[in-house]
């Protein structure tokens, strides 16, 4: 299996190289050259299988023979043993025909663990095989960072540098990152927004001298290794509700578009999904794009679902590539316009193709809070604010008879103030995080300046 860049100017790479590269050298994102397909019989055979079995069946379609079967199996088993629920990603029916898919049973209580526990093991394997070390740089609005730090801490093959926006994460999210004191972990609180953090990471990838000198690698969902692991739970959830004999729809709280793009990939592989619903908070650039056909940046507003306070939705580029008939030149033009004038119009064929597969809705702050309160009152189920955005949008949608699955992307205890303000209930952290507020923190506050960041990273990485 080869992977090609959405901008068409970088060499096609195999799975391991695409994962180590993170971002393509032309600034694009890697996607599979062809979509592997699973037949209805193969999908039906997932019924009753363990999560790791389905993960192996799906992921091995992308790794081909690059990772030996026994090694891939051991990596997947190790990744999902770190989850504290026997089903890994259980489904809970919160009201008639509306389910939440709990993706937060991993070590850091957010859906990012599902992919990160896999990615860290794959990268470690490839780097060890090649006798190399890499410098991992990631941008986070709170959850990617803690999941990545937890997954890569203590590994000899990698040094990890995570940029978070100073003062814009929840306190639990910040502490989950800054209290990890392993020598290979470096936390940077950037004076800026999440979009600034993400821009800085992309600029490091586009500075080829720096990229090569530190053997730069990325763990944001620009990395195909993240997406591939997230495809799995769409199959697991849909099959448990009757797929492929019955269609299902998914609503996904969306920021960087990685999670919902994984759902699109599952559909391309043959999973019968009726609709993929993009749920945004007040930072509603994606919903506006679906309404108007124009992607237009306006500014980021802080919300009670801070992990989705994003405007530059990286993985939307992958969808643009697919929806524009894989026209890499058209994608490059749109991305150049975004950089120059903070917006672009989608070609007619592209927006029509997107509207055929996706719907979109927005949940403002009040609607999100009242969704937390109502769901607690009616179903005794406590939603985190990101999941509440999804549930709120799914409830307001005109729906068909198929089951709706809203992705529960974080545990409510990661956002105790917002959840308590909405419901009166203060969700407790699980016992293994019970002393989080007593643990010492280590963090470096840095200016949003590319030279400062590159000097900081270059002088601390062991991969240089
Ligand atoms: C809790 C939570 N929900 C939803 C999202 C949005 O996911 P994505 O960026 O893949 O769209 C994020 C972060 O990205 C998150 O941390
Ligand atoms: N919400 C994310 C933002 C980064 O998204 P990613 O999926 O591209 O890593 C976070 O929690 O950091």
Using one digit for the tens of pLDDT, what is the confidence trace for 394-404? 999 988 899 99
112 annotated active-site: yes
Instruction: For the chain, 464 residues long, give each residue's pLDDT as a single digit of tens.
Output: 999 999 999 999 999 999 999 999 999 999 999 999 999 999 999 999 999 999 999 999 999 899 999 999 999 999 999 999 999 999 999 999 999 999 999 999 999 999 999 999 999 999 999 999 999 999 999 999 999 999 999 999 999 999 999 999 999 999 999 999 999 999 999 999 999 999 999 999 999 999 999 999 999 999 999 999 999 999 999 999 999 999 999 999 999 999 999 999 999 999 999 999 999 999 999 999 999 999 999 999 999 999 999 988 999 999 999 999 999 999 999 999 999 999 999 999 999 999 999 999 999 999 999 999 999 999 999 999 999 999 999 999 988 899 999 999 999 999 999 999 999 999 999 999 999 999 999 999 999 999 999 999 999 999 97
Q: Residue 464: inside a domain, yes or no? A: no
How many CB atoms neighbour CB 65 within 10 A?
10
Q: State in Å: Cα 254 to ligand 2 middle.
A: 10
Tell me whether residue 276 is in a domain: yes
β-strand 273-280 against 294-296: which pairing, if any? Answer: unpaired
Per-residue model confidence as pLDDT tens digits over 19-32: 999 999 999 999 99
Asked whether residue 459 is domain-assigned, the answer is no
How many domains does the chain fold into?
Answer: 1
Q: Give residue 360's region: left, alpha or beta (phi > 0; psi -120 to 50).
A: beta
| Burial of 21: CB neighbours in 10 Å, binned 0-12, 13-18, 19+ | buried
Looking at the DSSP bridge assignments, the partners of residue 99 are 93, 405
In a domain, 356, yes or no: yes
Ligand that lies nearest to the alpha carbon of residue 385, given by its number in the listed order: 1
pLDDT of 142: 92
Question: What's the domain range around 394?
Answer: 91-108+225-423
| d(CA 243, ligand 2 centre) in Å | 29
ipTM for the assembly: 0.99
CA of 219, closest atom in ligand 2: 9
Please work out whether the CB of residue 6 comes within 6 Å of at least one atom of ligand 2. Answer: no
Cα(242) to centroid of ligand 2, in Å? 31
Q: Is 221 in the pocket of ligand 2 (CB under 6 A)?
A: yes
Q: Say if 360 falls within a structural domain.
A: yes
pTM: 0.97
Substitution candidate for ligand 2 out of 104, 139, 152 with most atoms within 8 A of CB: 139
pLDDT score recorded for residue 113? 98
* Alpha-carbon gap, residue 102 to 99, rounded angstroms: 9
CATH code assigned at 305: 3.40.50.1100
338 belongs to a structural domain: yes
Question: Residue 267: CB within 6 Å of ligand 1?
Answer: no
Q: Where are the alpha helices (DSSP H) in 207-327?
A: 208-213, 224-240, 258-268, 285-292, 316-323
Q: Evaluate whether residue 218 is within a structural domain.
A: no
- Pairwise CA distance, residues 389 & 220, whole Å: 22
**Cα–Cα distances in angstroms (integers) from residue 181 to residues 139, 178, 219, 307, in the given order:** 19, 7, 19, 23
450: helix, strand or coil:
helix
User: Would 445 be classed as within a structural domain?
Assistant: no
Distance from residue 411's CA to the centre of ligand 1 (Å): 12
Best residue for ligand 1 mutational test, from 109, 255, 284 (most atoms within 8 Å of Cβ): 255
């Amino acid at each position: 299996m080869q992977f090609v860049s959405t901008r068409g100017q970088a060499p096609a790479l195999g799975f391991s190289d695409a994962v180590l590269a993170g971002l393509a050298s032309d600034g694009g994102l890697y996607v599979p050259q062809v979509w592997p397909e699973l037949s209805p019989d193969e999908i039906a055979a997932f019924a009753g299988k363990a999560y790791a079995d389905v993960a192996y069946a799906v992921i091995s379609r992308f790794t081909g023979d690059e990772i030996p079967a026994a090694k891939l199996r051991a990596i997947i088993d190790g990744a999902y043993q770190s989850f504290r629920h026997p089903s890994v990603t259980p489904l809970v029916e919160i009201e008639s025909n509306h389910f939440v898919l709990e993706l937060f049973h991993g070590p850091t209580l957010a859906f990012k663990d599902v992919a990160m526990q896999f990615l860290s093991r794959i990268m470690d394997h490839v780097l060890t095989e090649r006798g190399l070390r890499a410098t991992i740089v990631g941008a986070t609005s709170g959850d990617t960072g803690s999941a990545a730090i937890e997954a890569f801490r203590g590994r000899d093959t990698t040094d990890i540098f995570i940029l978070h926006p100073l003062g814009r994460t929840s306190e639990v999210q910040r502490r989950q990152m800054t209290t990890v004191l392993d020598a290979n972990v470096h936390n940077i609180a950037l004076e800026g927004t999440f979009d600034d953090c993400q821009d800085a990471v992309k600029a490091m990838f586009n500075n080829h001298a720096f990229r090569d000198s530190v053997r730069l690698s990325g763990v944001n969902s620009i990395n195909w290794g993240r997406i591939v692991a997230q495809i799995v739970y769409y199959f697991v959830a849909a099959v448990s509700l009757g797929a492929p004999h019955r269609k299902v729809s998914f609503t996904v709280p969306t920021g960087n578009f990685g999670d919902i793009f994984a759902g699109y990939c599952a559909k391309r592989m043959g999973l019968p999904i009726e609709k993929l619903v993009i749920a945004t908070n007040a930072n509603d650039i994606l919903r506006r794009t679906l309404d108007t056909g124009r992607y237009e940046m306006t500014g980021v507003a802080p919300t009670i679902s801070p992990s989705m306070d994003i405007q530059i939705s990286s993985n939307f580029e992958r969808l643009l590539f697919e929806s524009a008939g894989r026209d890499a030149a058209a994608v490059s033009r749109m991305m150049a316009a975004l950089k120059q004038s903070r917006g672009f119009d989608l070609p007619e064929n592209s927006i029509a193709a997107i509207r055929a597969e996706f719907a979109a809705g927005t949940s403002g702050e009040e609607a999100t809070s009242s969704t937390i309160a109502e769901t607690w009152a009616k179903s005794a189920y406590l939603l985190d604010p990101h999941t509440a955005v999804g549930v709120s949008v799914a409830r307001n949608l005109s729906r068909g008879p198929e089951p709706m699955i809203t992705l529960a992307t974080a545990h409510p205890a990661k956002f105790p103030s917002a959840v308590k303000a909405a419901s009166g209930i203060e969700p407790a952290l699980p016992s293994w995080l019970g002393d989080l507020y007593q643990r010492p923190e280590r963090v470096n506050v840095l200016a949003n300046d590319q030279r400062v960041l590159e000097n900081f990273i270059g002088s601390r990485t062991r991969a240089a």
